[in-house]
Amino acid sequence: MTRYFALFLLLGGFAFAQSKPDVLFIAVDDLNDWVSYLGGHPQTKTPNIDRLVARGTAFTNSHCAAPACNPSRAALMSGLRPWQTGVYTNNDPAQGVLKDVNTINRHFLANGYNTRGGGKIYHGYGSEGRTDSWTEWAGLFPSIKEHEENMNGLNRGHFDWGPVEGKPADMGDYKLTDWAINHLKTAPTDKPLFLGVGYVKPHLPWYVPQEYFDRFPLADIKLPVTKENDLDDVPAAGKRMAGAEGDHASVLKGDQWKKAVQAYLATISFLDDQVGRLLDGLDQSPRKDKTIIVWWTDHGWHLGEKEHWRKFALWEKATRTSMAIVAPGVSKPGSKTDAPVDYTNLYPTLCELTGLPLPDHVKGASLMPLLKDPAAKWNDVAVCTHGKGNHAVRDAQWRYIRYADGSEELYDHSKDPYEWTNLAGEVGMSDLKAKLGAVLPKEEVKPTSGEAKKKEGKGKKKKAEE
């Protein structure tokens, strides 16, 4: 009887492995819409990213839940929005609030998946402080030129760029790709594989070998499309986010704008090469035909638009992302949808695609209807949050921003794709603003940074008393 029971378990495990698709979960840091298929910059070269996206459905109106690494990743991996967790910015610790949350990787691990992760999936803390979050967590891979060198002369920390000596193989993301390819080819087949591959580039500093800079001659570089005095109709809260007197003023004074664009394009091109290697590795593996690919970038990035640099804002350039899902037998190759979606949609979509139960705390809508029919009716909007009380809502046509002080911005993307004309104060816009604003929270939890300081203070007081 025992022998038959063991055989039953063995065959049952084999059947489970065969019935569940593998998942290649690719995260990218600081990549905006400068990919060829989104047309964010006319000189970008991303043939491999385009090749990946063309295998399934591209979401051309996708947005992060927060325009910073830490809160964006915390929201995507947990299915919880910043106002639910208190993780609003990079300064808000996520470890404590996520330590008992059933995140995507934990959910897949608990449901029989071999979960392997490497590179950057979460922000700055590989497995959220727990050892039971992954089957294996490889972490970051060492890279050349990791420390700030002030190559551009601006002396603004890791806000730096320039060509470095070394080979592509010396870069951390190259080593990460080797690691991922090895798992695709050799991971045991008795369990389905969830492989998290977190690319660090094009995060600052933009240090890549000279060959990538050579692909974009400096004399030919085109600057982003901008408008003089673009911030004139932006409320004070938005101007503070722009911080024009900081990065932008330094870039102009140091005559670094073209060099920065060149460096960003070069770093994206390096990333694209790694994506090509990863795709080739998948195609040469036994998992080729049964692997779901999820491609996502954690937020957008400004390079001088609205006199702003980096992410950390609620405009289109900061919130728009590159996202695609390749689901064999479900998505249609080469399909695109402009439905407004955000990263709280990914967790439920993955559960539905793989047949896993949906955790009770995950409330986002699955993208399955859009994967089956990119033109399907979609009633949701994308919501992005940057700091408590500051939110942007994006539907198919409009972007509405409401700051914590009640000030507003409103842009009509059908006529104003660069968001140059703020219509929030125009007559006749009240109903539209009310409709878009109806999705925003009435209550928001405090930032975890405040709670952490409070606990730290109590700890110091207790220690002093002891």
Positions marked active-site? 69, 123
Whether the Cβ atoms of residue 285 and residue 185 lie closer than 8 Å to each other: yes
Secondary structure class of 114 (helix, strand, coil): strand
CA–CA separation, 137 and 70 (whole Å): 18
Whether the Cβ atoms of residue 423 and residue 429 lie closer than 8 Å to each other: yes
- Token pair for 417: 């794709």
CA–CA separation, 223 and 244 (whole Å): 17
Dihedral of alpha carbons 150, 153, 154, 159, sign: negative
CA–CA separation, 175 and 57 (whole Å): 28
- Per DSSP bridges, beta strands 62-63 and 341-342 are parallel
Secondary structure class of 141 (helix, strand, coil): coil
CA–CA separation, 137 and 117 (whole Å): 5
- Per DSSP bridges, beta strands 382-385 and 302-303 are unpaired
| CA nearest neighbour of 366 among 382, 353, 383 | 353
CA–CA separation, 205 and 242 (whole Å): 20
CA–CA separation, 65 and 314 (whole Å): 10
Dihedral of alpha carbons 84, 451, 393, 314, sign: negative
| CA nearest neighbour of 279 among 184, 358, 194, 361 | 184
- Token pair for 144: 């050349």
Contacts 24+ apart (CB under 8 A), 357-363: 357/111, 359/79, 359/102, 359/107, 361/78, 361/79, 361/80, 361/101, 361/102, 362/79, 363/79
Whether the Cβ atoms of residue 305 and residue 234 lie closer than 8 Å to each other: no
DSSP state of 446: P
CA–CA separation, 168 and 175 (whole Å): 9
CA–CA separation, 272 and 286 (whole Å): 23
CA–CA separation, 103 and 78 (whole Å): 5
Dihedral of alpha carbons 170, 172, 173, 174, sign: positive
